[in-house]
Amino acid sequence: TNVALTDDGDVWWEGMTPDVPAHLTDWRRRDWTPQSNEPAAHPNSRYCTPIAQCPTVAPEWEDPAGVPISALLFGGRRATTIPLITQSLSWAHGVFLASTLSSETTAAATGRQGVVRRDPMAMLPFLGYHVGDYFAHWLDIGARANPDLLPKIFYVNWFRRGDDGEFLWPGFGENSRVLKWALQRVEGTVDALRTPIGDIPHFDDLDLDGLDRSVYDDTKIRAALRVDPSEWEREIASIDEWYATIGGNKLPDVLCQQLGDLKQRLSTARRDVAQVSVGERLT
């Protein structure tokens, strides 16, 4: 919705093609050319399709009996700091990660782009009750459940960029490679690299067969997985500010403890290594 239309009736938006069409009908249904002063597509344009059109949808997706849930994935949109995928160390740690989830804002959120905003569980605009109570609800689920049956929690970030501003990971369908690793972790068939913020893949455990390695080489992918303590020092300061807005009487003590534990692990890491990266184990 709210995209531009080409003269032959196809859709188009900024960045979709290397070459900009000579003429479009913009999202307000006005004539548009590259000389126009406004974007052809709305900054928050979207497209939708019925799930019945998805060829890989599971046959059980509408099963009234439900299905077992083996993994939960929370995703943020960050150009720095957050690795491609991180597995939580426990249910409580997973709730902590999800409670601190953040994205760089789009036009949908504030009208400004590139501002880091906390968006716990990617649900902040939709929460109908106090966020501290919402966190407590998640923690209570873990406290009451059989630990062996709880889903594994993962935090993904497809949008990390390099120093040149280019994406470090291709995203889209290639994300299935990262999901494969997550499922292998659920099945217990692959190891992980322990870092202060959680478990990340060993480089060699990612299935990169068929990936365009001329563009996404080892250096880029290792950078996408990197955990940099100096970046996380700034991240922790931001998390402290976020938690302060919730209020001490509402923020669960378990999450405060998780934040304290993270600070301690990072402090230990800084003493041991200058930077934690793929292929480097903490001692």
- Cβ neighbour number for residue 64 with a 10 Å cutoff: 4
User: Locate tokens 């995928």: which residue?
Assistant: 85
CATH topology of domain 1-51: Phosphoenolpyruvate Carboxykinase; domain 2 (2.170.8)
- The answer to whether residue 243 scores a pLDDT higher than 50 is yes
- The answer to whether residue 38 scores a pLDDT higher than 90 is yes
Give me the residue spans of the domains in the chain. Answer: 1-51, 71-272
DSSP secondary structure code for residue 159 in this structure: T
pLDDT of residue 111: 52
Q: What CATH code would you report for 71-272? A: 3.90.228.20
Task: For residues 39 and 14, give the distance between their C-alpha atoms in angstroms, rounded to a whole number.
Answer: 7
Q: Which residue in 102, 106, 105 sits closest to 45, CA to CA? A: 106
Task: For residues 243 and 118, give the distance between their C-alpha atoms in angstroms, rounded to a whole number.
Answer: 10
Q: Would you give the end-to-end CA distance of the chain in angstroms?
A: 52
For the segment 108-126, the average pLDDT, to the nearest whole number, is 79
> pLDDT tier at 106 (50, 70, 90 boundaries)?
low
122-178: per-residue pLDDT in tens?
Answer: 999 899 999 999 999 999 999 999 999 999 999 999 999 999 999 999 999 999 999
Task: For residues 24 and 250, give the distance between their C-alpha atoms in angstroms, rounded to a whole number.
Answer: 51
Task: For residues 244 and 253, give the distance between their C-alpha atoms in angstroms, rounded to a whole number.
Answer: 13
> pLDDT tier at 282 (50, 70, 90 boundaries)?
very low
Average confidence score pLDDT of the chain = 92
pTM of the shown model? 0.81
pLDDT of residue 8: 96
Range from 173-177, 229-233, 248-252 that averages highest in pLDDT: 173-177
CB 104 within 8 A of CB 78: yes
